[in-house]
Amino acid sequence: MSSVKKKITHLYWRAGFGISLKMLDQASESPLKITINKLINDAKNPELLDMPLPVYQKILKEGRTKKQQDVLRKKLNQENQDVKVKWIRKMVASDNPLLERMTLFWHGHFALVSGKSSHFTKTYLNTLRKHALGNFGDLVLAIARDPAMIHFLNNRQNKKGQPNENFARELLELFTIGIGHYTEEDVKEAARAFTGWRTDKKGNFLFSERHHDFDRKTFMGQTGTLDGTDIIRIVLENKQTAKFIATKVYRYFVNERIDEQHVQRLADVFYNSNYNIEKLMRTVFASDWFYADKNIGIKIKSPVDLLIGMMKTLQMDLKTDKSFFFIQKIMGQSLLNPPNVAGWPGGKNWIDSSTLIFRLNLAGYLFQNVQVDMAAKPEPEDKADRKIKLKLATTMDVSPILNYLSRLDEAAIFSTLSEWLIQADFHLEKTELDPFIRHKTRNHYVKSLLLRLMTLPEYQVC
């Protein structure tokens, strides 16, 4: 593969979920800068998740019996699941990969477990989408006012005289400046500043004067009748916040192993641009070091990266929504249900004996529509002995790949597909894989080669 194509593939894996062969050809004809520009410009026009939520609308209205209400709640739960699936399908189908990637990144950063309201879930995802490449300060403020977050981190219970520190603590520890750069006293004072930040039933932000503490507070050395907006302003004035976010971005988009100089450069750009996320990401993608060999093919794909990447590559859909939840759960990354507010630790943490074997076999399960002989752990609320097993039924369309390869012989197909799908150093020779590949027709060859390549440990990294 030409070095230009290698770079573009790398860019698209990190800024999205891979690239099609045809787009790769097109992109390789223009300078890399143009490709980066397009990715960023597209993502600056965020298409929001748009779906009607009839059950939620209905549940807002009063005047039902308890039984009717219970039925409706069950339906609301289903509608909430529908929102999650809609998001996943969007990641697969979207031609705005950076927007989808940034949304996923921010979900891991501002991690929350969605409640029961489909509307809150949708609003939260749209908050992330709206600000995905915008200003970080605006994003933090929007998150502080977001109904799903207010609910998740108990800010409704945060009242004058009875502060609940949950949101204030995570704001400092996980969302902005990081542990070690503030005191316990700062947490207490920040909590007071966010008292009265709540939402109405419909999820609109509501500032309750009755519950807000209007007295003087001292936060990180500044004293005044501070409110939540002031806390966010003060914490962003501290350059450590830029460093904290730049480090997280570097670890996620570039390499878990930090290069102190590169991170410092990102932190400077971020801080000096007043926390412009677009500028930060542009600096990452435009830097030479982003394309250094030591940063390519070394990141363990998250379960969602793996699934979405496969589905995009094969133009695949899963026939039942349940399959989405089963696959996520068994690989250890259920969107909108992270282990806790710290999000997913990532890296080698994704891998243990059972998740790895499932990940390696995933392509096979999806290609062959088999019954997966594994059970996901039941939810605590589940009845006893409930084992969730699943047949993974899929539809897929590999005709664009077949068309693209239609004039090539086996050797050329082998090198095209392996270079396209495998970012890691690749040592296998065609002859070594041949015994595992069907050679009857070109179609057989391409399909079985796709399957085998996607089963290699090397396919688990990008």
Partner 1 sequence: MDRRNFLKNTGLASTSLFVPQFLSGFNRNGFVQNGKNLIIVQWSGGNDGLNTVVPFHNDLYYKNRPTLAIPKKKVLKLNDDLGFNPMLSGLKSLYDDGLLTVINNVGYPNPVRSHFRSMDIWHTASSSDQYWQTGWLGRYLDNNNPDNVPHTALEIDDSLVLALKGQDKTGFAAANPARLKKAASNSFLKKVAHHHQHDHEENVAYLYKTLIDTQSSADYLTEQSKGYETKSRYPSTSIGKDLATIFNLIIRDTNTKIYYINMGGFDTHANQKNKQEKLLKQYSDAMKVFVKDLQKNKKLDDTLIMTFSEFGRRVKENSSHGTDHGTANNVFFMGGKLKNPGVFNEAPNLRKLDKGDLRYTVDFRKIYASVLKNWLGVNPGDVLLDSYKPLDII
CA atoms within 13 A on the CB side of 174: 20
Contact pick of 209, 373, 411, 440 for partner 1 (by CB under 8 A): 373
Q: Which of residues 84-143 bind partner 1 (CB under 8 A)?
A: 113
d(CA 401, CA 449): 12
Reference 85, options 327, 300, 310; nearest CA is: 327
Q: Which of residues 239-298 bind partner 1 (CB under 8 A)?
A: 294, 297-298
d(CA 349, CA 229): 36
370 belongs to the binding site for partner 1 (CB under 8 A): no
Closest distance of CB 406 from partner 1, Å:
27
Q: Which of 129, 359 has the CB closer to partner 1?
A: 359
d(CA 355, CA 346): 13
200 belongs to the binding site for partner 1 (CB under 8 A): no
Q: Which of 148, 267 has the CB closer to partner 1?
A: 148
Closest distance of CB 63 from partner 1, Å:
22
Q: Which of residues 424-443 bind partner 1 (CB under 8 A)?
A: 424-425, 427-428, 432, 436
Contact pick of 182, 452, 453, 454 for partner 1 (by CB under 8 A): 452
Contact pick of 25, 375, 395, 400 for partner 1 (by CB under 8 A): 375
Closest distance of CB 401 from partner 1, Å:
21
Closest distance of CB 399 from partner 1, Å:
25
Q: Which of 200, 293 has the CB closer to partner 1?
A: 293
Which residue stretch of 34-42, 155-163, 376-384, 390-398 sits at the interface with partner 1 (rule: CB under 8 A)?
376-384
What DSSP element (H or E) covers 188? helix 184-193
And the tokens for 60?
Answer: 């807002």
CA distances from 365 to 292, 319, 370, 390, 453 (A): 34, 13, 5, 11, 14
Q: Report the largest interatomic distance among the alpha carbons of the chain, rounded to a whole angstrom.
A: 79
Q: Which of 286, 356 has the CB closer to partner 1?
A: 356
461 belongs to the binding site for partner 1 (CB under 8 A): yes
374 belongs to the binding site for partner 1 (CB under 8 A): yes
In contact, 420 and 13? CB cutoff 8 Å: no
Q: Which of residues 329-368 bind partner 1 (CB under 8 A)?
A: 330, 332, 339-342, 345, 347-349, 351-358, 360-361
Please report, as a single letter, which amino acid is at residue 384. Answer: A
Find how far residue 25's CA is from the centre of its chain.
27
Q: Which of 355, 415 has the CB closer to partner 1?
A: 355
Q: How is residue 276 annotated by DSSP?
A: B
Reference 420, options 99, 22, 98; nearest CA is: 22
61 belongs to the binding site for partner 1 (CB under 8 A): no
In contact, 458 and 424? CB cutoff 8 Å: yes
Closest distance of CB 6 from partner 1, Å:
15
299 belongs to the binding site for partner 1 (CB under 8 A): yes
d(CA 19, CA 31): 16
Q: Which of residues 144-173 bind partner 1 (CB under 8 A)?
A: 169
186 belongs to the binding site for partner 1 (CB under 8 A): no
Closest distance of CB 328 from partner 1, Å:
12
Q: Which of 4, 351 has the CB closer to partner 1?
A: 351
Closest distance of CB 114 from partner 1, Å:
13
d(CA 111, CA 287): 28
Q: By rule CB under 8 A, what count of residues binds partner 1? A: 53
Closest distance of CB 167 from partner 1, Å:
13
Reference 73, options 34, 32, 117; nearest CA is: 117
Q: Which of 70, 397 has the CB closer to partner 1?
A: 70
Find how far residue 165's CA is from the centre of its chain.
27
Q: Which of 21, 461 has the CB closer to partner 1?
A: 461
And the tokens for 334?
Answer: 């259920």
d(CA 92, CA 4): 25
Closest distance of CB 451 from partner 1, Å:
9
Which DSSP string corresponds to 8-41? HHHHHHHHSS---HHHHHHHTTS-HHHHHHHHHH
CA distances from 155 to 27, 230, 341 (A): 47, 17, 14
Please report, as a single letter, which amino acid is at residue 165. Answer: E
Contact pick of 103, 118, 313, 460 for partner 1 (by CB under 8 A): 460
In contact, 43 and 99? CB cutoff 8 Å: yes
Closest distance of CB 285 from partner 1, Å:
22
d(CA 179, CA 176): 9
Q: Which of 131, 169 has the CB closer to partner 1?
A: 169
Closest distance of CB 130 from partner 1, Å:
27
And the tokens for 212?
Answer: 């807000």
Q: What does the binding site for partner 1 look like in residue numbers (CB under 8 A)?
A: 113, 169, 294, 297-300, 330, 332, 339-342, 345, 347-349, 351-358, 360-361, 373-378, 380-386, 424-425, 427-428, 432, 436, 452, 455-458, 460-461
